Amino acid sequence: MSTYVVANPATGEKSAPFAQTTDAAVAKAIEEAHAAHSTWSKSTTVAQRAAMIEKVAELHRERREELAEIIVREMGKPLGQALGEVDFTADIYSFYATNGERFLADEQIAEFEGEGEAFIRRSSIGVLLGIMPWNFPYYQVSRFAGPNLVLGNTILLKHASQCPESSAAMEKMFRDAGFPVGAYQNLYIDSKQAETIIADPRVQGVSLTGSERAGAAVAEIAGRNLKKVVLELGGSDPFILLSTDDMDATVEAAVAARNDNNGQACNAGKRFIVLEKHYDEFLTKFTAAMLESVPSDPMADDTYLGPLSSESAADGLEEQVSRAIAQGAVVVNRGDRKGTYFSSVVLTGITPKMDAHHEEFFGPVALVYKVADEAAAVALANDTPFGLGSYLFSTDKEQVMRVADQIEAGMVYVNGVGLDSPELPFGGVKRSGFGRELGRFGIEEFVNRKLIRILK
C-alpha cells in the first residue's frame, strides 16, 4: 500500500493522506480509458486534440504561481526553478499542439516502385499507463501525456506518492481543457495495482521514469504481458573538460550541471573529468563555487539550493558519501547538513574499486577526476553502467566531433548545460533505459505505423 501525502521537506509539515484509489475504481478507470479510446480518440482529429493540448499549455501559464508553489511544498524545489519548470512544461504541450499534425501526417514510402501506392498512416494504439517521479512533477508528465494525447492514446497516470497535490492539479487542467472522461486520469495506486493495470489486455503500453529497480520490475511485468515499454532511468553523466577559453564560465556551467534542482536530476553532471593541465584551477574554483550556494528556504526569491526531497533521501545520500570516504575518497570540502538541507560536497580520489565510481549520487555531491589525455577522458566517461546524458567542453571543433562520437550516452551537450528543449529528443542507453521522449521521437513511441497499400 502506498501513502500519498505532501511532506514539505523544508518545514516538516505534512498534509492529511490522500485516499488511495480502490481496486474497483482502478477497474472503472481502465474501462473509461478504453471507452474513451474507442470513441473520443476515433471521432476527433489530430487538430482537435492538438487544440485541447494547447489549452492545457495555456492553463499551465495562467496558473503558474499556484502550480509552482505546490511542488515547492511537495519536493523542495526552489520557487524560481519551480516557475521555470511550469513554463517549460507549457512549452512542451504547445510544441506538440503546434507540430502534431505534421508529425502524424501520412508518409509515402519513397522506395516503393510497385503498382499503385504505399504509405504509412500513424495512429494511436490505446490505453497507456504512465509512472512518474517526484523530481520534476509537471515536466515529466508533459513529456509523456502531451504527445500521446495528441496522437489519440488515453492516459492512466500514477505519480510519485509525494506528489498527490500536483497530480490532482494536472488532472483538473486536462478536464478544464475539454478532455472527456477517460482521456486522462490520475490514480493514487500502489505497485500491485500498477501491475494489474499493465497486465490488463486493454492497456497497450507503459512509460516509467524512475529508478533502475523500478524500471526492471516494470519491464519484467510488461515483457511478460507483451506490452510496449519506455524507460527513463538513472544517470551518472560525465562533465568532460578538455579545453576552455573561459574557466570562470565553465565552472559556472559545472555548478549548474551538478546542483540545479537541488542536484536531483537524472541527467545532472555528476562525474567531472578534467584534463590534468586544467585540473588544479578547475578544482579550486569549482569547489569554492559549489560551497557558495548554502541551502536555504525554497520559497525565497533568491534561493538556488533548497532542501533534498525528504529526510530519507538526505540520509541515503549521507550514507553514500560516508561509504565513499571509508573506501578512500578524499573530501576536498563540504558544507554542513541540517536535516534535509544538504550542502555541497566535492570528492576526489575516486577509483574503479569504490562503490562511488559506479553509483548515482542524487544530490549536490560532485566527483572530480584528473585524466592525462583525451583517450583517458573518454574511457573514464564510458566506465559507468549508465548512459543517459553527457557534457563536453572543448574549444576544438574536430575534437568535439571525435569525442562526441565515442561517448556512450543518449545525449551529448557541448559547451553548455541546461540546453534541453521541447524539440530535442531525451533518453539514454545502457542502464539508463530505452526509448525517447520529446521531439518528433516522443510521439513515435506508442504509435501504430500502419502500412496501407492501394493497388489502384
Q: Which CATH number applies to 237-419?
A: 3.40.309.10
CATH of 23-232+432-454, one of 3.40.50.2300, 1.25.40.10, 3.40.190.10, 3.40.605.10: 3.40.605.10
Question: How crowded is residue 279: how many other Cβ atoms within 10 Å of its Cβ?
Answer: 18
Q: Is the pLDDT of residue 342 over 90?
A: yes
Predicted pLDDT of residue 456: 78
Can you tell me the distance from the alpha carbon of 384 to that of 194, in angstroms, rounded to the nearest whole number? 30
Q: Which three-class secondary structure state does DSSP give residue 424?
A: coil
User: Which is nearest to 18 in space by CA: 74, 87, 92, 59?
Assistant: 74
CA distances, 445 to each of 86, 143, 167, 384 (Å): 24, 12, 23, 26
Which helix (H) or strand (E) segment holds residue 86: the answer is: helix 79-103
CB-based contact 144:231 (threshold 8 Å): no
The arithmetic mean of pLDDT across residues 110-137, rounded, is 96
Q: How far apart are the C-alpha atoms of 385 and 376, rounded to whole Å?
A: 17
Per residue in 148-192, pLDDT (tens digit) is 999 999 999 999 999 999 999 999 999 999 999 999 999 999 999
Which H, E and C letters describe 19-33, residue by residue? CCCCHHHHHHHHHHH
How many C-alpha atoms does 404 have within 13 Å on its Cβ side? Answer: 15
Closest residue by Cα to residue 91 from 146, 42, 172, 167? 146
Q: Rounded to an integer, what distance in angstroms lies between the CA atom of residue 207 and that of residue 210?
A: 10
Which stretch of DSSP H or E encloses residue 174?
A: helix 164-176
What's the rounded Cα separation, in Å, for the pair 247 and 270?
18
103-140 as b/e: b if 16+ CB within 10 A:
bbeeeeeeeeeeeeebbeebebbbbbbbbbbbbbbbbb
Same fold, 23-232+432-454 and 237-419: no
Is 205:446 a contact under the CB 8 Å cutoff? Answer: yes
Q: How confident is the model at residue 395 (pLDDT cuts 50, 70, 90)?
A: very high
Assess whether pLDDT exceeds 70 at residue 1: no
Q: In the prediction, which pLDDT does 179 show?
A: 98
The answer for residues whose C-beta is within 8 angstroms of residue 249's C-beta and 6 or more apart is none
Each residue's pLDDT tens digit, 404-415: 999 999 999 999
CB of 432 closer than 8 Å to CB of 410: yes
pTM above 0.85, yes or no: yes
Place of cell 557534457: 391
| Catalytically annotated residues | 232, 266
Domain ranges of the chain: 23-232+432-454, 237-419
pLDDT tier for residue 436 given thresholds of 50, 70 and 90? very high
The string of DSSP letters for 300-359 reads STT-SS---S-HHHHHHHHHHHHHHHHTT-EEEEE--EETTEE--EEEE---TTSGGGTS
Strand order of the β-sheet with 228-232 is 184-187, 154-158, 127-131, 203-209, 228-232, 433-434
* pLDDT mean across residues, the chain: 97
